[in-house]
Amino acid sequence: MRIPEAIPLMILKNVTLFPEFLLPLHIFEPRYRRMLSDVMVSHRLFGVAMKCPWTAQEKPMPVVGVGLVRVSVDAPDGTSNLLLLGLKRVRCLGAESYKPYRMERVEVLPNDGEEAESVPVLVGRLRELIEDRLEHGTKGLQSQSLSSAIMSSNALTPELLMNDAMSAMGADLADSIQDASGLADYAASTFLTNAMERQAVLETVNVPKRLKKVSEYLAAEIERAK
């Protein structure tokens, strides 16, 4: 799907949207209700950015996720609950306008280095770390998003969805992800509890570097979980 040169942008604290992940959102602010209404009659696309933590201003981090509204359910009070499917990483180039909601100029960031010789070894190491983390159970995991793979799983139930489906089905999901880029994003979104670490992974377009970064962060998470 083609990403427009300018997209509506939602800025949220401690939130990251990775490609191929579903982010549940509750839309209640008037500006974002207007944004949702507009995108639902056009391309159904908008970006989700983490708010820069070092400023009081509503400033987005430089790399954000663009998503497609897969499901949107309106409530009688005018609010909406939706699932946003991540499509691409994009770099923010600056606001085109601010009202009625922020429109951001963006450029798509393609993955780099997927064919590097080091990738198979790095993937193997990350899979080992994922298995190690799952052996410690799901305590402390608060995944903000869901792998799109679970939507086609017969094991998915409303109760599982509410109780961290990604971690509960972690081993099967990890095995189902064959590409290195997707595995790194899965590990970051599922197991990294530090928002800035997730953001650092999102900003890393080079796949070998991303795999190394996730493995380093995940190894530290495992140590803390012991």
- The label of the residue with tokens 């300018």 reads 6
Q: Both 134 and 220 in a single domain?
A: yes
Tell which of 84, 108, 132 closes a domain: 108
β-strands 6-12, 45-50 pairing: parallel
Omega within 30 of 0 (cis) for the link into 24: no
Asked whether residue 66 falls in the same domain as residue 129, the answer is: no
Q: How far apart are CA 222 and CA 9, in angstroms?
A: 34
Residues 210 and 132 in one domain: yes
Question: Rounded distance, CA 216 to CA 212, Å?
Answer: 6
Q: What is the pLDDT of residue 163?
A: 42
Express each pLDDT in 190-203 by its tens digit.
889 999 999 999 99
Residue 83 has what pLDDT? 93
Q: What is the pLDDT of residue 154?
A: 45
Pair 142, 67 in one domain = no
What does the pLDDT read at residue 155?
Answer: 42
The number of distinct structural domains making up the chain is 2
CATH number, residue 47:
2.30.130.40
Question: Each residue's pLDDT tens digit in the chain (226 positions)?
Answer: 799 999 999 999 999 999 999 999 999 999 999 999 999 999 999 999 999 999 989 999 999 999 999 999 999 999 999 999 999 999 999 999 999 999 999 999 999 999 999 999 999 999 999 999 888 766 556 556 565 554 444 444 444 443 444 445 555 677 778 899 999 999 999 889 999 999 999 999 999 999 999 999 999 988 887 7
The answer to whether 190 touches 167, Cβ cutoff 8 Å, is yes
114 Rama sector, left if φ>0, alpha if ψ -120 to 50, beta otherwise: alpha
pLDDT for residue 148: 57
Tokens 């080079």: give the residue.
206
CA distances from 9 to 6, 90, 153 (A): 9, 11, 31
**What pLDDT does 180 receive?**
95
* Residue 23 domain-assigned (yes or no): yes
Do 162 and 76 lie in a common domain? no
Residue 2: how many CB atoms within 10 A of its CB? 7
Residue 128 belongs to a domain with what CATH number? 1.20.58
Question: What pLDDT, on the 0 to 100 scale, is given for residue 16?
Answer: 95
Q: Evaluate the CA torsion angle 174, 180, 186, 189 in order and state its sign.
A: positive
- Domain final residue pick, 108, 129, 149: 108
Contact predicate 199/65, CB 8 Å: no
Domain coverage including residue 83: 6-108
- pLDDT value at residue 203: 98
**Is 1 contained in some domain?**
no
Amino acid letter at 191? F
